[in-house]
Amino acid sequence: MIEGNPESVGSRLDLQQLLLGGKVRVPAPTGGGVSRRELIERARASGSRVIGITAPAGYGKSTLLAEWAEIEDRPVAWASIDRLDDDPAALLSLLASACATISAPVSEVALEMRGVGASTLGRSAPLLAAALTSTPVPFVLFVDDLHLADSLSCQDALEIVLTGVPAGSQIVLASRHAQPHLARLRASGEAVDIGIADLRIGVEGARTIFDRARIDVEDDQLAEIVERCEGWPTGVFLCALVERSGGEALAVTGDDRFVADYLYRECLGRLPDVTQRFLRRTAVLEQLSGAVCDAVLETGDSAARLREIESLNLFLIPLDRRRGWYRYHSLFRDFLLAELQVVEAAAFVELNLRAAAWFEANGLPAHAIEHLLTAGDRDRSAQLVAKLALPTYQSGQVAVVERWISEIGDAAVATYPPLVVMAAWKCALLGATAEAERWMQTLERIEWTEASVEQRLALDSSRAMLRAAMCADGPEAALADAAFAVANEPTWGPWRALALQLYGSICLLVGDVDSARGAFAETSALAPSSGNTGALLLAEAESAILAIEAGHWRAAEEHVRIALDAIDANHMEGYSTSALALAVAARIAVHGGDGARAERYLARGMRARVQCTFVLPFVSLKVRLQLATAHIELGDHVTARHLVREMHELIRRRPDLGLLVEEIEVLQLRIDRMSGWSGAIPLTPAELRLLPYLQTHLTIGEIGTRLFISRNTVSSEVGSIYRKLNATTRSAAVERAIAVGLLGE
């Protein structure tokens, strides 16, 4: 519960929803600015689907968007980006949440925006684009502060989304940084640029600002102010504030950065010391409320002070209608942070640590991590990231986890064994083989002598589970490791379900079917309450396979239904742990005579196999074994043969996998006895990773940069994709991929 916060809601979930609500709420236009009606009408009348507004801070981008939203007669959606949105899954989720209220098709897919690896670009982004295209009424989507989510992966996802904006609708993107997607759209007449030159104001605009501030100024003085500020709107506005408070606006010289510093300092210096101190210190917060400011400042009157500052028109923007949460104008916050470092630099770290403590206590650990990283507290960051990595991964925000680990740094990660465990699991589940093995080697070397007996035992159990999952030393050693983990993971712990699932899977490698059944049943009972959906998916899929082998197809169907429901409920499409359930679901559909349904499950399973590599060998082999069997049952011998080749490559890296190797040999013999070659050659995992990028306008070289492969490799794989999909162009390949279920649904 949130205590001592009368303006906030009473639960952590409500607080999270409140902050999200502030990001998708259309802000009221702020008074005192210059109307941009002419620019807005020109952009509206252009008929262009995309409007790009690109300029440094202080040029009125957000003000323009708010004014446009107020006068727009089409349905309006709004998305304000923050740094936690610099992840394609998070960005797509925010855009979908913004549009859900104005578009029924978007509302239907809003929860499907999560994903990992290629699935975000290959499924979530085209799903959102298709939903926007299907929106029956023209709309306008405003996206503010896009520069806070301009990683390459976000740019790629956004480019696909932009293709879905239908005729008559517009998406308006405001950013401090250049917007790469605009160049192509501009060339085809689909985009309009609004830049610095368009946003500068003249004497007439400056007169409006000074009149609203109730300041008399001569025309020649006003012209000089405009010239010195070079038409920079915020500079002119600050000059008006300085003049109103008795200062000398014409003393300003220099570029925007120095203009801002001078003018803000003039404004700030005329406020009471207590207000100046409040502004400087609370600038460490991206979002402000009375409660969090009280916690950071160790005071009790912050709510009243925020209302006072808002009344002074000091660049404070409300985030909710109740005016419980605010943010500073970004340029003003930059200035305040710089002042904090000059005036009381020693307080910077402590203020961020207090903010982190408040956000963690109030159920917003991701915000807490950002403050810990800002404060340079790598130890506490590592501890919190270790706790948050699994749920963040399962929510699809893999890029966020990767950024956290990167900012903490390998050296600091290595000093906290639980985070090493999470780094190793993340890499293993994402198919990052070299990194997974490197972190596993790091984990094996750790002694952690300063830890408690319980902590060391937990580390030993975690090591044992990773060794069992990677199965590098054969099934007997893996079984011993899995048994150790089962014996030492507490029944109430989050990892026991995974230990049991691993134990059951490895029991099958040595032929102990009864023990495997019991372990899978216990996994299924424990996994939902512990939040380990991946263990549940694998356990239910394994149980379904056992039921099929016993001829109990109805029982198999029930196990698969539980797994499929969990995939849908937790939005685990594209995760490596979902592939086995999808493959078995295809077999069950074939057995039931529903070939079309089987094909859909196979397409999804083939996509999910991309991240199933030799570092999780028995999972990866079982996925391909079930996929190949389903393809054979559908008469697609070509795909089955290619999947068997992939299995042999995995066995080359992990040769000792017990009875599983014998199952593959039996399948090989079955295929060898088949006459004829029917079916189409499937896309390889490498080609499936590349396929989503064909939806973008990236060059061959740029795609290679994204995937860390050479230009020649990209060219070769693109040519292979064209041949397999019977296409000669990108657009034709994408259309064919969508038709067969390799992109989108």
The most distant pair of C-alpha atoms in the chain lies apart, rounded to whole Å, by: 96
**By three-state DSSP, how is residue 673 classified?**
coil
CA distance 496 to 485: 8
- pLDDT for 6 equals 33
- pLDDT for 10 equals 38
SS3 assignment for 541-554: HHHHHHHHHCCCHH
Contacts by 447-450 with C-beta closer than 8 Å and gap 24+? 448/417
pLDDT more than 90, % of the chain: 63
**Which comes out higher in pLDDT, residue 1 or 636?**
636
* Structure-token pair, residue 491: 């029944």
Alpha helices in 201-245 (DSSP H): 203-212, 219-229, 233-244
Which residue in 636, 616, 620, 597 sits closest to 745, CA to CA?
597
**Inter-CA distances, 71 with 68, 201, 220, 244, Å:** 5, 21, 34, 31
Averaged pLDDT for residues 480-503? 95
**By three-state DSSP, how is residue 92 classified?**
helix
Q: Specify which of 498-507, 697-706, 733-742 reaches the highest per-range mean pLDDT.
A: 498-507
- pLDDT for 594 equals 96
Residue 135 CB burial class (10 angstroms; 0-12, 13-18, ≥19): buried
CA distance 488 to 481: 11
Mode of pairing for the β-strands spanning 170-175 and 140-144? parallel
User: Is a pLDDT exceeding 70 seen at residue 227?
Assistant: yes
Mean pLDDT of the chain: 89
Which residue in 157, 226, 230, 159 sits closest to 190, CA to CA?
159
User: Is a pLDDT exceeding 90 seen at residue 120?
Assistant: no
Contacts by 643-647 with C-beta closer than 8 Å and gap 24+? 643/682, 644/668, 644/671, 646/684, 646/685, 647/621
* Structure-token pair, residue 6: 């009368």
**Which comes out higher in pLDDT, residue 121 or 292?**
292
User: Is a pLDDT exceeding 80 seen at residue 506?
Assistant: yes
pTM: 0.82
End-to-end Cα distance, the chain: 39
- pLDDT, one tens digit per residue, over 546-601 is 999 999 999 999 999 999 999 988 888 888 999 999 999 999 999 999 999 999 99
- pLDDT for 2 equals 27
Alpha helices in 116-245 (DSSP H): 118-119, 125-133, 152-162, 182-187, 196-199, 203-212, 219-229, 233-244
**Which comes out higher in pLDDT, residue 453 or 241?**
453
**Which comes out higher in pLDDT, residue 523 or 271?**
523
- pLDDT band at 676; cut points 50, 70, 90: low
Which residue in 176, 32, 153 sits closest to 92, CA to CA?
153
Averaged pLDDT for residues 276-290? 94
- pLDDT for 247 equals 67
Q: In this structure, which amino acid lies at residue 677?
A: W
* Structure-token pair, residue 320: 């909710």
Averaged pLDDT for residues 374-392? 88
- pLDDT for 678 equals 67
- pLDDT for 70 equals 93
Mode of pairing for the β-strands spanning 76-80 and 316-318? unpaired
CA distance 510 to 505: 9
pLDDT more than 70, % of the chain: 93
User: Is a pLDDT exceeding 70 seen at residue 255?
Assistant: no
- pLDDT band at 215; cut points 50, 70, 90: confident
- pLDDT band at 250; cut points 50, 70, 90: low
User: Is a pLDDT exceeding 70 seen at residue 11?
Assistant: no
Sheet architecture: strand order including 191-194: 76-80, 140-144, 170-175, 50-54, 191-194
- pLDDT for 686 equals 93
Q: In this structure, which amino acid lies at residue 144?
A: D
